[in-house]
Structure formats: C-alpha cells, structure tokens
C-alpha cells in the first residue's frame, strides 16, 4: 500500500478501519485539555470504559451478599477464574483446560519453575536471553541459587551478534545444541521488551525439546499483541501479565498456560494450595490434596475478584474483536507509523534508526526507535505535547500504537509533533 503523510490520508485510513469505533471504548488521559496520543500500551494499557461496571458489580455483590457471593453472586467467586480460560485460550492458542489466571507474572514464573525446573547434577542449566527484562534476570538467578548452583555455572545467556539489535534464531538453536543434555530449561521473552522483536517460538521450542529440555515463555509483551499457538507449538508452559496489551489495569492478574501433557500427573513437583484442590470438594476442608484435572491444579489462593473484574471486562472485548482483526489493523498502523517516521526523518534530516525488525513476521505492535543526536529534551517535548511514550537510555523511544485504541490520525499528528520538537532547537 502507498501511504501519504497527510491529514486527509490518515482520516481516510481511519474511515476504512473496521475497529475505529473501539477508540471510544477506552478512557484517554488529557494533556492541555486534549486526549493524548498513547504509545505505551506495551507498558500499561488504557482503561476500557466497561471496566468500572465490572468492578461495581463485584462491589454490589459484596455489599448485598457478603460471603454468599462465593456461590450466589451474578458471577460467583468460587470459580470466577474459570471464566477466563476459554477466552484467553483464543488469545494465546491454548485449550481452555491449559489456561488459568492467578497471581502476577513473576510470581507465576517462579511457581511454574517449581514444576518445570527440577535440576539434577547433570542437567541444571537455564538458557535465557542477554539483557532480559530485569525481573526475569533476578528470577532466574534466584532460582538457580535456590537449587544450590551459581549464576556463572547455571545461567547461559544468548547473545546478539556485535552491532546487531536482535537475536538470530540460528544462534539460539546453536546455543541450545551446545548446552545439550545439560540444559534443563529454556526460558525467554517471546517478544523482546526492548527491541520489540518477536522470536520464532515454534522453532526454539522444538530445539529445546530435541535436547531433552523443558521450554517456557514469558509472554508479557506477546499476549494480546501477536499470534500465538502455544498448544500447537508444544510449549511446556508460559505466563504473561495482563496490564500491558491486555488492558486489565495496573498490577493485575497473570495468565498461565500449562500444556495438557502435564495435567493429572503425580510425578511432578508443584507448590500447592486450596484453590488447586478439586473444586467440588474444596470446602470440605479435607487433609489430602486432590488436584483439579487441568491447569487449575496450579492455583493456590482464592482469587482477587475485585482486581480480576477489569481483566474480564477487557477480555470480553478481545473475544468480540478477535486476534485476527487486531493483528490486521496492527500491521497496517505499525507500517503507517514506520512510514511517517521515515518521512519526518527525511524532512528534518535527522537519523532515526528503527531497531525493531522490519519484517512483519518478526515484530508486533512496538517500534523501538534510536533517535541519534537527540536528547531527553525531545522526549520531554513529546510528553508536554500530549504524546505519551517512553524513553530508554541511551536514546531509544518505544512506540506501541495499540490497534484497539490508536488511530491513523494519531500517527499523522505524532509525526507533526515530532517534527516540531526536533526543529525547535
């Protein structure tokens, strides 16, 4: 498609966009009395208008029913988390039985490692990516230490080639082969939070299995962003937070995928609690743990219903729209943003470098842009002029035009503000 960097052209793209009305379903902060251009849905998604209603319903049920709400609320609390499974299954490509929602992301990865990282003196290494999201680094290091290993002996980091901004699948596969039968677990971010690169999860998962390792994925930047087929890719486990592309609200509950081949097994270790107990017998308070037959066996505590209510509101929108439609718009709006960046770059003679892969298969919603020669003042200028983005040292801005609520006109206007910010000094 031939794009044009004009207001009229952007308006036309919005008119043709079948999802354009969804912008009104979200609440935008305002700067100088005007709704912002929001590029940080990869960090905290906007609030869906329906979220408040879902929270209010729980408040009412709590007021009117108190403890009886567990069974008699409009959406009963005792199995509230099960409402997410089928809907989330469609987002991540898992069977409903393979999905559960609980806790928060890093906590869940730790809990899943209790099952999927049982190192022996021969097989004890974890392969991850260099410069992984800090929480993942802390988590992996603390796990190997917990099992009596040092970081140096047990943590293997995949590196980018010198001068390159993203990982090559062949290098990851080579590293997995190299570590071979010492590899206990491959655990990587499916979409890199810094560069926006989408990894070839299918190939990497198969490579891990070929050396007898388990393979798990941190999908914080992937869920609700890219096409996922966790079941078909035979991923062992995965977890994601819901407050980024999934718009569930700050610090909200995390989703987990646990491949069905691990359900009902008695030979696995797992950290357990009463919410993973056979739900029909949960309130009989029996001494012996009887696990649920599916991913819900990994549940521990009773669910934080008030927190989860906005997640459910958001998830219903995902169900109504569906990932294919979101991805179709995503591809177009990201391509338009990329075009705008190149146009502005030419106009102001700057030297932007987009460090996200240009191939649609290897990227999702995010473009990470190196603004060579520009400083933090430009970022401040953008923020003061209603463009919400984020800044990563040395001078990278991450732009994620979430297809649910960003418009093509937003991209055009962003270009104009960016240009003004660069020309001003």
Ligand X SMILES: *Cc1c(COP(=O)(O)O)cnc(C)c1O
Q: How many residues bind ligand X (CB under 6 A)?
A: 12
If one asks whether residue 141 binds ligand X (CB under 6 A), the answer comes out as: no
Binder to ligand X among 46, 73, 91, 105 (CB under 6 A)?
105
Q: What is the CA radius of gyration of the chain?
A: 23
Q: Which C-beta is closer to ligand X: that of 40 or that of 299?
A: 40
If one asks whether residue 294 binds ligand X (CB under 6 A), the answer comes out as: no
Stretch that binds ligand X, among 55-63, 131-139, 334-342, 414-422 (CB under 6 A): 131-139
Q: Which of 123, 117, 122 is nearest to 141 (CA)?
A: 117
If one asks whether residue 197 binds ligand X (CB under 6 A), the answer comes out as: no
Pairing of β 214-218 and β 183-189: parallel
If one asks whether residue 13 binds ligand X (CB under 6 A), the answer comes out as: no
Q: Which C-beta is closer to ligand X: that of 189 or that of 364?
A: 189
Q: Which C-beta is closer to ligand X: that of 105 or that of 422?
A: 105
Q: Which C-beta is closer to ligand X: that of 189 or that of 224?
A: 189
Binder to ligand X among 81, 221, 263, 419 (CB under 6 A)?
221
Stretch that binds ligand X, among 54-62, 216-224, 351-359, 361-369 (CB under 6 A): 216-224
If one asks whether residue 137 binds ligand X (CB under 6 A), the answer comes out as: no
Rounded least distance, CB 133 to ligand X, Å: 3
Rounded least distance, CB 9 to ligand X, Å: 34
Backbone angles phi, psi at 40, to 5 degrees: -110, 30
Rounded least distance, CB 229 to ligand X, Å: 20
Binder to ligand X among 45, 189, 208, 401 (CB under 6 A)?
189
Can you state the angle between helices 134-146 and 105-116, rounded to 10 degrees?
30
Binder to ligand X among 218, 236, 374, 410 (CB under 6 A)?
218
In sequence order, which residues have a C-beta less than 8 Å from that of residue 231 and are 6 or more positions away?
Answer: 93, 94, 95, 98, 259, 260
Rounded least distance, CB 215 to ligand X, Å: 16
Binder to ligand X among 20, 118, 135, 169 (CB under 6 A)?
135
Q: Which residues of 47-57 are buried (b: 16+ CB within 10 A; e: fewer)?
A: bbebbeebbeb
Rounded least distance, CB 104 to ligand X, Å: 5
Rounded least distance, CB 224 to ligand X, Å: 13
Binder to ligand X among 117, 193, 237, 381 (CB under 6 A)?
193
**Residues in 231-270 at the binding interface with ligand X, rule: CB under 6 A:** 241
Q: Which C-beta is closer to ligand X: that of 105 or that of 183?
A: 105
SS (H, E, C) the chain: CCCCCCHHHHHHHHHHCCCHHHHHHEECCEECCEECEECECCCCCCEECCHHHHHHHHHHHHHHHHHHHHHHCCCCCCCHHHHHHHHHHHHHCCCHHHEEEECCHHHHHHHHHHHHCCCCCCCCEEEEECCCCHHHHHHHHHHHHHCCCCHHHHEEEECCCCCCCCCCHHHHHHHHHHHHHHEEEEEEECECCCCCEECCHHHHHHHHHHCCCEEEEECCCCCCCCCCCCCCCCCCEEEECCCCCCCCCCCCCEEEEECHHHCCCCCCCCCCCHHHECHHHHHHCCCCCCECCCHHHHCCCCCCHHHHHHHHHHHHHHHHHCHHHHHHHHHHHHHHHHHHHHHHHHHHCCEEEECCCCCHHHECCCEEEEEECCCHHHHHHHHHCCEECEEECCCEEEEECCCCCCCHHHHHHHHHHHHHHHHCC
Q: Which C-beta is closer to ligand X: that of 137 or that of 416?
A: 137
Rounded least distance, CB 67 to ligand X, Å: 30
Stretch that binds ligand X, among 101-109, 175-183, 333-341, 359-367 (CB under 6 A): 101-109
If one asks whether residue 136 binds ligand X (CB under 6 A), the answer comes out as: yes
Query: How many Cβ atoms are within 10 Å of 162's Cβ, its own excluded?
Result: 5
Rounded least distance, CB 242 to ligand X, Å: 9
Rounded least distance, CB 140 to ligand X, Å: 11
Q: Which C-beta is closer to ligand X: that of 241 or that of 422?
A: 241
Binder to ligand X among 133, 167, 237, 408 (CB under 6 A)?
133
Sites of contact with ligand X (CB under 6 A)? 104-106, 133, 135-136, 189, 193, 218, 220-221, 241
């Amino acid at each position: 498609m031939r794009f044009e960097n004009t207001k009229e052209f952007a308006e036309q793209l919005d008119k043709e966009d079948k999802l354009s009305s969804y912008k009104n379903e979200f609440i935008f902060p305002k700067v100088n009395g005007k709704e912002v251009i929001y590029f940080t849905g990869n960090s905290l998604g906007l609030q869906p208008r329906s979220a408040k209603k879902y929270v209010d319903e729980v408040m009412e049920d709590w007021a009117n029913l108190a403890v009886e709400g567990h069974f008699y609320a409009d959406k009963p609390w005792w199995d509230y988390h099960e409402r997410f499974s089928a809907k989330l299954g469609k987002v991540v490509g898992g069977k409903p039985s393979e999905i559960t929602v609980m806790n928060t992301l890093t906590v869940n990865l730790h809990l899943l490692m209790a099952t999927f990282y049982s190192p022996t003196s021969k097989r004890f290494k974890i392969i991850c990516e260099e410069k992984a999201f800090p929480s993942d680094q802390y988590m992996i290091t603390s796990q190997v230490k917990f099992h009596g290993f040092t970081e140096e002996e047990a943590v293997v980091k995949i590196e980018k080639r010198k001068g390159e901004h993203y990982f090559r699948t062949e290098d990851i596969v080579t590293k997995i082969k190299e570590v071979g039968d010492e590899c206990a677990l491959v655990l990587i971010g499916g979409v890199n939070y810094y560069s926006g690169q989408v990894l070839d999860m299918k190939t990497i998962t198969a490579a891990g299995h070929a050396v007898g390792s388990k393979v798990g994925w941190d999908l914080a930047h992937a869920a609700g962003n890219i096409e996922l087929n966790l079941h078909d890719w035979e991923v062992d486990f995965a977890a994601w937070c819901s407050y980024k592309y999934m718009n569930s609200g700050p610090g909200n509950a995390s989703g987990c995928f646990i491949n069905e081949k691990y359900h009902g097994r008695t030979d696995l270790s797992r950290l357990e609690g009463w919410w993973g107990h056979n739900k029909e017998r949960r309130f009989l308070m029996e001494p012996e743990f009887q696990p649920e037959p599916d991913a819900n066996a990994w549940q521990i505590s009773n669910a934080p219903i008030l927190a989860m209510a906005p997640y459910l509101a958001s998830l219903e929108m995902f169900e109504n729209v569906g990932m294919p439609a979101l991805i179709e718009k995503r591809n177009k709006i990201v391509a338009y943003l990329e075009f705008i960046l190149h146009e502005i770059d030419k106009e102001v003679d700057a030297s932007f470098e987009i460090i996200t892969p240009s191939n649609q298969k290897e990227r999702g919603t995010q473009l990470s842009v190196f603004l060579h020669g520009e400083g933090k003042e430009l970022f401040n200028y953008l923020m003061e002029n209603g463009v919400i983005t984020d800044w990563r040292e040395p001078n990278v801005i991450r732009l994620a035009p979430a297809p649910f609520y960003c418009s093509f006109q937003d991209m055009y206007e962003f270009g104009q503000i960016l240009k003004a910010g660069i020309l001003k000094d």
